[in-house]
Amino acid sequence: MDLTALFRPFEKASLLDRVSDPVAARLRSVLSDTPVDGLLRGTFVGHPMHPIMAYSSVGLWSSAVFLDVTGRSPDAARTLLGAGLVTAPTALVTGWATWSTLTREQRRVGLVHASTNAVAIGLFAASYKRRAAAAAASTEVETAPDATAKALALAGFAVAGLGGALGGHLGYNMGAGVSTRAVAAGV
């Protein structure tokens, strides 16, 4: 299933420029020509850091959802959700640093990508909070999450998947963060 046609309208959503242009300009004014900029954007490794940082949170959250679905290790699932929330800021700061260097069309899609991921983080945080409160109130060794906590994590997983698809569109279809020395496929 090719989602490219679904995401293309975001590329043309010029109403996002009212937010995108000043935020990108401000980020560039703060970051340009600083060692922090190169660190956040991954110039020392030769490619963007954001995907690397995002994988840690996504992997932790995916593992938590797997444990929920299989009904195993509720405390481990809660810990994994929390760990994903702790690692998420690294994906956020590296993403915004890279986003600030993109073209207008790429930044438009990037804003939708970031917004989608913000919703996913909120869903995972709500699931974690609900689980932590239940565990604190319980005298049981392990506290199984209720259906709402599981549903919140599953919804977070689905929304994060959409956010990831948007990120894939940015990188693979729009060339965001791709090196200028990259060779086109089939050449």
Chain segment 2-41, per-residue pLDDT in tens: 889 999 999 999 999 999 999 999 999 999 999 999 999 9
pTM, 2 dp: 0.92
Residue 160 burial (10 A CB sphere; 0-12, 13-18, 19+):
buried
Question: What rounded mean pLDDT belongs to the chain?
Answer: 94
The radius of gyration computed from the CA coordinates of the chain, to the nearest angstrom, equals: 19
pLDDT computed for residue 183 by the predictor: 62
| Every domain of the chain and the residues it spans | 15-173
Residue 150 burial (10 A CB sphere; 0-12, 13-18, 19+):
buried
Mean pLDDT within 68-76: 95
